[in-house]
Structure 1
Amino acid sequence: MRRPDHRRPVIVRLVLPFLMAMTLTGCKPEASNPAAPAAEMSPMDVSTVVAAAATVPRTLDLPGRLASTRVAEVRAQVSGIIQERAFEEGSLVRKGDVLFRIDPAVYKAEVDARTAGVARAEATRTQALRQSERTETLLEKQAASTAQHDIAIATLRQAEADVASAKAQLARARIDLDYATVRAPIGGRIGRALVTEGALVGQAEATKLALIQQVDPIYADFNAAASDPSLLVEQAAGKEAAEVRLVLPNGSLHPDAGQLLFTDVSVDPGTGQVSLRATFPNARVALLPGTYVRIQVRQGTIPGAVVVPAQAIQRSSAGGAQAYVVVDGKTALRPLRTGALTGAGWIVEEGLKADEVVVVEGFQKIQPGMPVNPVPWKGAWSTEASRKS
């Protein structure tokens, strides 16, 4: 018969207190590092501004494209071998600057030949003049016939015509020699050279050598709806002063205001729009032809518009405007409908009210609903500045 094991209660009594101690230790809250959760929960500092209600210009925002005021294709007017390119590609050139030099040897020889032709024609004219004078003297003495005198006069006139023809040919030869030095027809920015030294140009046609575009000032062509173009027509005609501003592709404003030049005389039947053109100063050549821009034409003012700095506006994946707003110490991502970009910032037409707190810097590290600590933004923007019309 098997004996009962009396050692099991003893082992249970020894192990049970140890297990209970381990269980109580695991259930106790972690108090060894109280600073870690506090650091995780501390609100992040973000730079903010208070959305201001201001009187801002009422603008007509239209898409447009930049165009050169003058364009000139530099072409070879005589044939020959390019000996030298005398300009730097992409540089600014003045009217009359030397761009290319074509081998002038043939044209110098032609000038010399034509010069000799003029001398020969003048000698023939001198001989004909003397012969005419002698014939006239003999005719007075009745020692020559009238027919001989007429022949002498005709010979003189032919010699004079030969002199004029020889001089014209000499002038043409000198023009060709001058064309061997290719000069800039206008001032502006020149593009890349389309030929290199050693190339034969102008043999069958006027070879295109380079392109010069005058970009100061520069044109901005854009279209507007023709439903009520009377105000733009009056502004273009100079009856009413119009402030025209240019918004660059990066969203910033061109520092110099432009001038509205004209509206087209007809409306496009396909789009129902009328073409307009404005001109802008471009002394630093920061604006390049072909760039797509936006044109703002001022048309009165908007009282009480909500304005925020341009840095506060973000773009969603769909391209819509949005901004972070601080409400009760927490962030909220607010979709917005923006108007025109002014010197004070973006006009918010919908989605934001005056005196709301908007995040300007630090939104890269925040998410909606996150507690934050708003601090005043130190950027070049203020409520007073935004109230300027």
Structure 2
Amino acid sequence: MQRSRGCSARVPVTLAIAISMLAGCGNKKEAAGPPPPQVSVVTLKTEQLTLDTQLPGRTTAFRIAEVRPQVDGIILRRLFKEGSDVTQGQQLYQIDASTYEATYKSARATLESARLLAERYGRLVGDEAVSKQQYDEARAAWLQAQAAVDRAEINLRYTRVLAPISGRIGRSNVTEGALVTNGQATALSVVQQLDPIYVDVTQASSSLLRLRRELANGALQSAGTNAAQVSLVLEDGTRYPETGRLEFSEVAVDQGTGSVTLRAVFPNPRHELLPGMFVHARLSEGVKTDALLVPQQGVTRDLKGQATALVVNARDEVELRQIRTERAVGDKWLVSDGLGAGDRVIVEGLQFVRPGAKVRVAQAGSGAGAPVAGASAPSAPSAAKR
């Protein structure tokens, strides 16, 4: 009897222990929690990159010539169409030439008289009929008369106002019947050569110094034949079809703006570019052989404006890196410090993680469930739970 009572007493105790063990196992399963969040990463690698810089500028005519009168008189005719193309030597205006024609004829008559007198004295001086001094004076008068004829002929020729260069002529500042004078302040018109055409751009002197320093220390390599090539973006955002070349760099820095002027020349056969247009010129700075490009979506900035990126280390833990960005290249940042080749930068899922957190890694663009090399697989219980 006592033995059976002892056995009966042990049964409840055994059941209680078993129930406690089962409850403990259940609590452990519940404590396992959800799996680490999944993020998409981009594995960085270096590449060769040609660096360009875009600078603002304005177009300038290749040659500019003001049309000015060189004699006084009344404009009788305007012989060109405003806004048309003219060629060098083409007559543009006709100034009243009547007084200049009379002066020319008078000078010719004076010349003939002086010539005859000098020749007569030349014959007489040998017979000592006239003095040597008289002969010399007659000969000098002959030469002066010849100069007067030349001057009168030049003034007569100047009554035909000609185009000084070939190009496109603007509006006329005078009308027929207007009195013009030699040396007047207002030009009759202006002729500008538009093909080719200059583009003057400005670059900060600090940028120029940085570029020269990087080329000198090997951080950048020369772009070779492409270094002198320039492309153009117009005001409406379209790309100009012709390629220009860099002509020269100004020898002095503008004290007011701290910038240096660069001049490029572009073919302009269709006269699409007009003087004074605002444009953007794209110039090749050099070639960076070990460029590191990071997608812009993987770069954020803290409250101080410092650029940062979240990186997954070899233990699949998130690290915060402070980085230095040089410039935007398309939809990426060119990074010069803080990251290296092989780093895995998080580009998707940034809002779900924090530094030190464990994550599951997928390569960006490879599908949500495709882990990258080196990424740990989920634990068996987590897989079973999914």
State the TM bucket, normalised to the shorter chain.
0.5 to 0.7
| TM norm structure 2 | 0.58
Give me the whole-angstrom Cα distance separating, in 1, the residues matched to 2:143 and 2:198. 48
Question: Are residues 1:169 and 2:148 paired?
Answer: yes
Which AA in structure 2 matches 1:173? A
Which AA in structure 2 matches 1:63? P
2:114/2:138 contact within 8 Å kept: yes
Structure 2 counterparts to residues 236-247 of structure 1, below 5 A:
241-247=227-233
Runs of 4+ with deviation above 4 angstroms:
54-57, 230-236, 300-306
What's the % identity of the aligned pairs?
Answer: 41
User: SS state of the match for residue 278, structure 1?
Assistant: strand
2:331 match: 348
User: SS state of the match for residue 217, structure 1?
Assistant: strand
2:57/2:202 contact within 8 Å kept: yes
- Residues 56 and 286 of structure 1: CA distance in aligned 2, closer, same or farther (over 3 Å): farther
Which AA in structure 2 matches 1:180? T
Q: Report Cα offsets for 1:149-175 as digits up to 9, x if no partner.
A: 7x6111111111111100100000010
After TM superposition, give the deviation of residue 270 of structure 1 in Å. 3.6
Q: Report Cα offsets for 1:129-186 as digits up to 9, x if no partner.
A: 1220211xxxxxxxxxxxxx7x611111111111110010000001001000000111
Q: Report Cα offsets for 1:65-107 as digits up to 9, x if no partner.
A: 1111211110111111111111111111111111101111111
Give me the whole-angstrom Cα distance separating, in 2, the residues matched to 1:85 and 1:232. 54
1:226/1:274 contact within 8 Å kept: yes
2:280 match: 294
Structure 2 counterparts to residues 222-237 of structure 1, below 5 A:
222-229=201-208
Give me the whole-angstrom Cα distance separating, in 2, the residues matched to 1:229 and 1:71. 30
User: SS state of the match for residue 133, structure 2?
Assistant: helix
2:167 match: 188
* Structure 2 gap ranges (5+): 1-46, 216-220, 296-326, 334-386
1:209 match: 188
**Count of equivalent residues:** 249
2:200/2:261 contact within 8 Å kept: yes
Structure 2 counterparts to residues 332-371 of structure 1, below 5 A:
347-349=330-332
RMSD of aligned residue pairs (Cα, Å): 3.3
Q: Report Cα offsets for 1:244-263 as digits up to 9, x if no partner.
A: 11110010111011111111
1:79/1:202 contact within 8 Å kept: yes
Question: Are residues 1:62 and 2:55 paired?
Answer: yes
Question: Are residues 1:259 and 2:270 paired?
Answer: no
Give me the whole-angstrom Cα distance separating, in 1, the residues matched to 2:90 and 2:248. 33
Which AA in structure 2 matches 1:291? M
Question: Are residues 1:106 and 2:111 paired?
Answer: no
After TM superposition, give the deviation of residue 232 of structure 1 in Å. 7.4
| TM norm structure 1 | 0.58
* Structure 1 gap ranges (5+): 1-53, 136-148, 307-337, 341-346, 351-389
Give me the whole-angstrom Cα distance separating, in 2, the residues matched to 1:232 and 1:72. 37
1:134 match: 127
- Residues 102 and 305 of structure 1: CA distance in aligned 2, closer, same or farther (over 3 Å): farther
User: SS state of the match for residue 68, structure 1?
Assistant: strand
